[in-house]
Amino acid sequence: EPEVTQTPSHQVTQMGQEVILRCVPISNHLYFYWYRQILGQKVEFLVSFYNNEISEKSEIFDDQFSVERPDGSNFTLKIRSTKLEDSAMYFCASSDNRDPYFGPGTRLTVT
Amino acid sequence: QKEVEQNSGPLSVPEGAIASLNCTYSDRGSQSFFWYRQYSGKSPELIMFIYSNGDKEDGRFTAQLNKASQYVSLLIRDSQPSDSATYLCAVVTNAGGTSYGKLTFGQGTILTVHP
């Protein structure tokens, strides 16, 4: 069964460093999303991406965040200068305009 | 502010019983409703979706939607210890096009099924 994959599974970084989280969506899906979940809190929408551009973003997704689809398979989330409060699980999801399926997540720890 | 509310629990049921999980949402324009299961430290796993008023059954799971009351529920029949997890209710408003995957999640209900 096709699935969304994400790398790395765990990323530890120092405050102020840049990180890139990677995702490979399900191959025939056209819509891509990033969500995050701070420990013990709700899953929160960050951004949606369609047709090589951002279609919607939340207030969390400020200038420190960017997304890119550098080739036909990968979808990345970049955080330019990480803060302690960026520590969370980051989930990539994809859909074929119906039900979003989530990847396993990347645990980002900012020290 | 679009809100999705769930009773955080924990909800504890004996093995074989029916577990009933509830969710309310504030935006009357919400159109699509999802139930995800999340094991500790793992990603949300889609269990069911429902778009129309009424019941939808899939195996041991039944989703119920009442748009007039802005209420959606999930029933798990013959609960098993492996069903122990956090159950997340998620809602989409303005479904269609690129907004489809913009889910607003509730805080989740912790379910424990004890043998």
Return the pLDDT at B95. 54
3-state secondary structure of B98: helix
> CA-to-CA distance for A87 and A39, rounded, in angstroms?
8
Cross-chain residue pair B101–A33, CB shorter than 8 Å: yes
Cross-chain residue pair B100–A103, CB shorter than 8 Å: no
The bridge status of strand B11-14 relative to strand B109-114 is: parallel
Angle of CA points B44, B92, B18, to nearest 5°: 55
> CA-to-CA distance for A80 and A19, rounded, in angstroms?
7
Between the two ends of chain B, the Cα-to-Cα distance in Å is 40
pLDDT level of residue A51 (50, 70, 90 thresholds):
confident
Over range A7-35, report the average pLDDT: 95
Q: Percent of chain B, pLDDT > 70?
A: 92
pLDDT level of residue B96 (50, 70, 90 thresholds):
low
Return the pLDDT at A42. 94
Nearest CA in chain A to B107: A42
Distance from CA of A105 to the nearest CA of B (A): 6
Cross-chain residue pair B43–A91, CB shorter than 8 Å: yes
Contacts of B106 in chain A (CB under 8 A): 42
Model confidence at B15: pLDDT above 90: yes
pLDDT tens, A55-88? 889 999 999 999 999 887 899 999 999 999 999 9
pLDDT tens, B60-85? 999 999 999 999 999 999 999 999 99
Share the mean pLDDT of chain B: 91
Nearest CA in chain B to A29: B101
Residues 6 or more apart whose Cβ sits within 8 Å of residue A98: B49, B100
Return the pLDDT at A98. 73
Cross-chain residue pair A56–B98, CB shorter than 8 Å: yes
Cross-chain residue pair A105–B42, CB shorter than 8 Å: yes
pLDDT level of residue B94 (50, 70, 90 thresholds):
low
Taking CB atoms and an 8 Å cut-off, how many pairs form between chains A and B?
A: 62
